[in-house]
Amino acid sequence: MNLILFEAGEVEAPLALADPRALHLIRVLRRRQGDLFDAGIVNGPRGKGWIVHIGPDSIALGFEPLEGPPPADPIHLVVALPRPQTARKILNEATSLGVASMRFFRSEKGEPGYAASTLWKGLEWRRHLLDGAAQAFDTRLPDIAHDPSLAGSIGALPAAGPRFALDNYEAPRRLRPASGIRPLALAFGPERGWSADERAVLREAGFVLAHLGPRVLRTETALVAALAIAKSGP
């Protein structure tokens, strides 16, 4: 953890010693009473935390906010609901790289059972966002949404800005979005590829089909590569 994140109001309450953040502070960072550490409030300010007291079952903390969170890069992801282990990587990596939102939709060629994963039933998905934000030394979490169809996800996107859909089969060009133009939408299909109807929906909504070269990549790898291309330049 490069940044210890807390929910609003959490730093005023004792933190259980069994909490992963307490374990990280004491066992990994080797902080003791009075020591400082980098901390932040989820979707709020970053600053300095310190250990007020270490008790037998919990630790008391203090926090001083020093700066607000940097603005989110207005990149919006549309992702066909992937298998849970892939979704976990996407949630973490996309948050680390900094996106404004991720919308997961049920694709025509995807597995319907992916939506029933325990990843989405509780708050596990949010833990992966927190891990990604802490890694990036940021407090801001992207908005997460689920839609029953591709059209539903596209309908919730900002109306302005360039739009690209990654496609290994029918894309006529490499992904080369104009540097720095925002907002930007990137769409990623299921492992089996877009259906003909979904390609029609994408084209009708102004998406340009693009590829990352001849190599077939995993969804999470393609997403990270596309974000790196989109965020390169001034």
Ordered by where they begin, the domains of the chain are: 4-67 (2.40.240.20), 75-231 (3.40.1280.10)
Residue that the structure tokens 């969170």 belong to: 69
Tokens of 156: 């919730």
Helix (H) or strand (E) run with residue 64 in it: strand 58-67
Query: What are the pLDDT digits (tens) for 1-58?
Result: 899 999 998 998 999 999 999 999 999 999 999 999 999 999 999 999 999 999 999 9
Contact between 201 and 92 (Cβ < 8 Å): no
User: What pLDDT does residue 146 have?
Assistant: 97
- The arithmetic mean of pLDDT across residues 121-142, rounded, is 96
b/e burial code for range 162-194 (CB count within 10 A of at least 16 → b): bbbbbbbeebeeebebeeeeebbbbbbbbeeeb
pTM of the model: 0.94
Closest CA to 194 of 157, 224, 173, 164: 164
Closest CA to 233 of 156, 165, 181: 181
User: What pLDDT does residue 181 have?
Assistant: 87
